Amino acid sequence: MQYIGYMTAAYIIIWVAILLYFLNLAKREKDIWEELQGLRATLNRGESTPQDNV
Amino acid sequence: MRRPYIPAFVFGILALIGLAIAPYMALMYAGMEKDMGFAQKIFYYHVPSAFMMYIGFALCAIFSALYLYKKDKKYDIWALCSAEVGLLFCTLVLLTGPIWAKPIWGTWWVWDAQLTLTLMLWLIFVAYMMLHSYSEDSLQSAKFRAVLGIIGFLDMPLIHYATKLWRTHHPEVVRGEEFGLPLDMKIAFYFCVLTFLMLFLAILFKRVSVEKAHDELESIKSEIRDRKAILGQLGSD
């Protein structure tokens, strides 16, 4: 069991870092898609009624 | 509607399977090194992370050169995403290395050539990401980043051959014929490298899909601004 604490710490750091990066990436993607859908809808409304303020 | 991104999904599934088996390969299948004990097991994740760092930064340099040559935005997107994923693995290398060094060398860090050059590489790509985040002129930022990505790449051969060029503390782990690990350790090591490669590709393709969506968002915003300007002009006429 020599140095098992160091190994555990290294493995935890790797998994936590990768998990946090993935969660951050998923959040960025979700925000972008929400904004994109909103803007697309705005743009489509603008095309159907040109007088509308876009 | 959200586009399914098949490469990220396929590599993600393969990475998950690999990640489920990798701890068994590293902890149970591979034998225990008698002097370093469990600290040696860090090697199975630390070295593959270093390989993925090399691949990420090498891809960044290749796409940067292509961007400078062809001026096509898609190469800038790939270079940016490769740099970000490379930086993630470089950070893992710099975090796990000292955890191995503390019990083996008795210190967390030494300023030897290989470690210092890796830290320099990390700083170069942190600067690269900051240039992307804080620059207002995206075209000029892309050019500067492309040059920085190529400069960063030049640091990598120095890191890889540092143990040959200078006297360093860092062990020569994988160097062609000198790769003298027992077979069980070799198999576990190559398995972890393959798993990390799947993980790297899954993250890279996912990151590229996010960046493409971001690019699309920016172009729609720009289109809306143009329409507003035209409507404003019509209104004033």
What DSSP string describes B140-156?
A: HHHHHHHHHHHHHHHHH
Judged against a pLDDT cut of 60, whether residue B4 lies above it is answered with no
Mean pLDDT (whole number) for B149-153: 93
CA atoms of B191 and B44, how far apart (whole Å): 9
Q: Does A36 touch chain B (CB under 8 A)?
A: yes
Residues in A closer than 8 angstroms to B226, CB to CB, are: none
Tell me how far apart the terminal alpha carbons of chain B are, to the nearest angstrom.
Answer: 38
Q: Look up the CATH number of domain B7-211.
A: 1.20.120
pLDDT digits (tens, 9 = 90+) for B160-184: 887 777 766 666 655 555 467 889 9
Q: Does B203 touch chain A (CB under 8 A)?
A: yes
> CB under 8 Å to B177, separation ≥6 — which residues?
none
Is the ipTM of this structure higher than 0.85? Answer: no
Domain boundaries defined on chain B: 7-211
Closest CA to B84 of B115, B59, B107: B59
Give the sign of the dihedral formed by CA B219, CA B221, CA B224, CA B225: negative
Q: Does B89 touch chain A (CB under 8 A)?
A: no
Q: Does A19 touch chain B (CB under 8 A)?
A: no
Size of interface A-B (CB pairs under 8 A): 93
> CB under 8 Å to B180, separation ≥6 — which residues?
none
Phi/psi at B173 (5° precision): -85, -50
Return the higher-pLDDT residue of A13 and A41. A13
CB B152 within 8 A of CB B128: yes
Q: How far is A2 from chain B, CA to nearest CA, in Å?
A: 5
Phi/psi at B2 (5° precision): -70, 130
Domain boundaries defined on chain A: 1-47
CB B92 within 8 A of CB B200: no
CB B199 within 8 A of CB B15: yes
> Position A53: which residue type?
N
> Position B228: which residue type?
K
Residues in B closer than 8 angstroms to A53, CB to CB, are: 228, 231
| Res B188: pLDDT | 94
- The number of beta carbons lying within 10 Å of the beta carbon of residue B20 is 10
Q: Do A7 and B88 touch (CB under 8 A)?
A: no
Q: In 3-state terms, what secondary structure has residue A12?
A: helix
CA atoms of A34 and B31, how far apart (whole Å): 50
| Res A47: pLDDT | 65
Q: Do B221 and A39 touch (CB under 8 A)?
A: yes
Task: For residue B44, give both structure tokens.
Answer: 């199975």
| Res B233: pLDDT | 81
Phi/psi at B117 (5° precision): -65, -35
Tokens 């995206």 locate to: B138
Residues in A closer than 8 angstroms to B23, CB to CB, are: 11
pLDDT digits (tens, 9 = 90+) for B32-85: 888 888 889 999 999 999 999 999 999 999 999 999 999 999 999 999 999 999
Residue B84 CB-density burial (10 A; 0-12 exposed, 13-18 middle, 19+ buried) = buried
Q: Does A16 touch chain B (CB under 8 A)?
A: no
